């Protein structure tokens, strides 16, 4: 059984576990299934906007896919969420990636 199958099996019993959903999205990226990863990251963030770690990965995925404006939007949302959560490390990472893209 590969990693994706193992994660999906675990999600079958706990479908809203964001750690597992995030891990699955990262596995999708590794296997080139970026559309599935994008869909999963967006689902996580729409349901749980305070799940800070997914903002960076979603925005980077969008950036790689040439979806610049959407990447900027998700970086901005992530910076706002990180600021609200008082997560300075995540805020700095998002801000750095944002500035690299915008400037």
pLDDT in tens, the chain (103 residues): 799 999 999 999 988 899 999 999 999 999 999 999 999 999 999 999 999 999 999 999 999 999 999 999 999 999 999 999 999 999 999 999 999 999 9
DSSP-based three-state secondary structure for 67: coil
Name residue, tokens 């969420």: 81
Domain hosting 52: range is 3-102
The answer to whether the predicted template modeling score (pTM) of the entire model surpasses 0.75 is yes
The DSSP H or E segment spanning 32 is none
Q: How many domains does the chain have?
A: 1
Give me the long-range contacts of 79-86 (CB less than 8 A, separation at least 24): 81/49, 81/50, 81/52, 81/55, 82/52, 82/55, 84/50, 85/50, 85/52
Q: What is the CATH number of the domain that holds 80?
A: 1.25.40.10
19 token code pair = 């750690």
């Amino acid at each position: 059984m590969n990693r994706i199958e193992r994660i999906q099996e675990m999600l079958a019993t706990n479908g809203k576990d964001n750690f597992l959903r995030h891990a699955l999205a990262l596995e999708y990226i590794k296997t080139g299934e970026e559309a599935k990863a994008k869909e999963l990251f967006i689902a996580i963030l729409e349901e749980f906007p305070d799940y800070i770690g997914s903002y960076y990965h979603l925005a980077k995925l969008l950036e790689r896919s040439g979806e610049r404006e959407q990447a900027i939007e998700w970086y901005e949302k992530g910076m706002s969420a990180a600021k609200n959560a008082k997560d300075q490390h995540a805020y700095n990472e998002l801000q750095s990636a944002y500035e690299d893209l915008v400037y």
